[in-house]
Amino acid sequence: MTTQSNFETFGKAEEVYSFDQPILAEEREYTLLEAGSYPFVITDVAKKFYEPKEGSKLPSCPQAQITLEVDGGQQGKTKLIHNLFYTKSTIWKVTELFMAVGLAKKGENYNPDPEQLLGKSAMCELSQQGYVKNDGNNGTRNEIKKCFASPNAQANGYGAF
């Protein structure tokens, strides 16, 4: 039996499991894509509130955690998390994504509610980033450098900067 926690992140409850509950054993697969440009679809959106750790450059602020399914063609598909922070110095990333999916146009006001993004698609430029895993070993992950509209959408005025 699955129970719901009392904690909700902007209306989205997190599932909680008990110690004696059967759980399906699944591995979390990750496909590392080569650096390049790829199409994506937004498969999940979570509204959160960012609380900075000591030394953080960002203040407490609303945060949108966006899950993108990126299609690497013959390399396979992978899911990436794209965190958007709603501060003056980082709102350009929010605008970039909204323009890429056609929810904003340059020079016009728009509503930055991330729930509008669910199911939308565009393109992203990925790089590979090295990091240290929790076990101390080195790893490599994909990082979203930028989001942009597909060439067809750009011809219609979306995604142009």
How does pLDDT run across 99-120, given as a tens digit for each residue? 999 999 999 999 999 999 999 9
Higher pLDDT, 63 or 5: 63
Note whether residue 9 is domain-resident. Answer: no
Whether 112 maps to a domain, the answer reads yes
8 within domain boundaries:
no
Residue 1 inside a domain? The answer is no
pLDDT digits (tens, 9 = 90+) for 25-68: 765 667 999 999 999 999 999 999 999 999 999 999 999 999 99
Q: Give the domain range for residue 121.
A: 31-155
Domain for residue 95, yes or no? yes
Instruction: Single out the residue of 82, 55, 83, 58 nearest to residue 70, CA to CA.
Output: 82
User: Rounded to whole angstroms, how far apart are CA atoms 137 and 128?
Assistant: 16
Q: Is residue 144 assigned to a domain?
A: yes
Q: Nearest-CA neighbor of 15 among 2, 1, 25, 31?
A: 2
* Alpha carbon separation from 141 to 24, 84, 112, 128 (Å, rounded): 26, 18, 28, 6
Q: Is the pTM above the cut of 0.85?
A: no
**Number of domains making up the chain:** 1
pLDDT of residue 6: 37
